[in-house]
Amino acid sequence: MRDPSLLGPWVRRFLMEHMVSERNLARNTQRSYRDALRLLLPVVARRARKPVDRLVVTDISTDRLRQFLNELEEKRGCAISTRNQRLAAIHALARFISRRAPELVEWCGQVRTVPFKKGPQELVPYLEKPEMDALLAAPDMATAQGCRDHAVLQFLYNAGARASEAAEVRIGDLNLPHVPGRDQASVVIQGKGNKQRLCPLWASTANELRLLIGNRAESEYVFLNRRGQPLTRFGIHALVERYARKVTPKFPSMAKKRVSPHTIRHTTATHLLRAGNDINTIRGWLGHVCLSTTNIYADVDMEMKAKALASCEIKEKKPKKRWRDDKGLMGFLERL
């Protein structure tokens, strides 16, 4: 590196060398970090009154970083979670630089003093069983697109998969036995951090996927759009939202919920919990690294809370009639 103080070469090394070669992070993570820096650098350049290519590392000061984070929330309307995600990318860049340039350790320490912002803990949205059934019944199964859409919705509900995970499933990841009632169908899902998990499939899901893939090659993606191209995670989001709008008039309660592929993922976890599965099984099903992430589902299910409350409810006792109020002597004697 010609000038170790220049920021540009460090950014290139961070994105290409560190994230790809050293860490082998998922493509979506790489894009997220790239987008954070793509938003940050013009803001810093404007404040420093320099071209982006002439910025030095120390131009990312704590004041400018805080101004950037405030702009994300106030001007771009980003949520606190998005703000924290952008800040995590900048912290990671600072750590990368300081480990390779000891003279910038102090600068790294200052950047990392900018804290993450605590946001409100919102309830996890999920669909009740009748709502989920209505969503699954929404596609027109008489058309090829309706069959594809139903297969996508059922796969999301069956596997509890993220939209990006469903979009990346290839035919070779499926294990669809010839005798569905005897052998267990399954799918290998590539999750966050390139972690794989094996998820069982219902016989009905396996049958739909078998019809959907036909005789296509194992290297092809399972879910394709109308042009025969792989369905993207954005396409899956649009698909779910389209059918959610279709069934909302029949279920007004859904109007208060932002129904997305992740809502279906939460629905899978909640329904698994209601069926009596333990939290650790659900953790493996969804591909969570930490059990604490899965524990949120134990807090959101009002049906299970109501059942737990009813099991320890104190029954109201009927007041006993005082003997002085009993005008009949025989009745009084019989009740003694």
Catalytic residues: 162, 192, 262, 265, 288, 297
Cα 133 to chain centroid, rounded: 21
Give the number of residues written for the chain: 336
Query: What letter represents residue 184's amino acid?
Result: Q
Q: Are 58 and 5 spatial neighbours (Cβ–Cβ below 8 Å)?
A: yes
Taking the CA of residue 73 as centre, how many other CA atoms within 13 Å lie in the half-sphere pointing to its CB?
14
Helical H runs in the chain? 7-12, 27-48, 62-74, 80-100, 105-111, 129-137, 144-159, 163-168, 203-213, 233-247, 261-274, 279-286, 291-294, 297-300, 302-311, 329-334
Taking the CA of residue 296 as centre, how many other CA atoms within 13 Å lie in the half-sphere pointing to its CB?
15
Helical H runs in 13-79? 27-48, 62-74
Residue with tokens 């800040």: 87
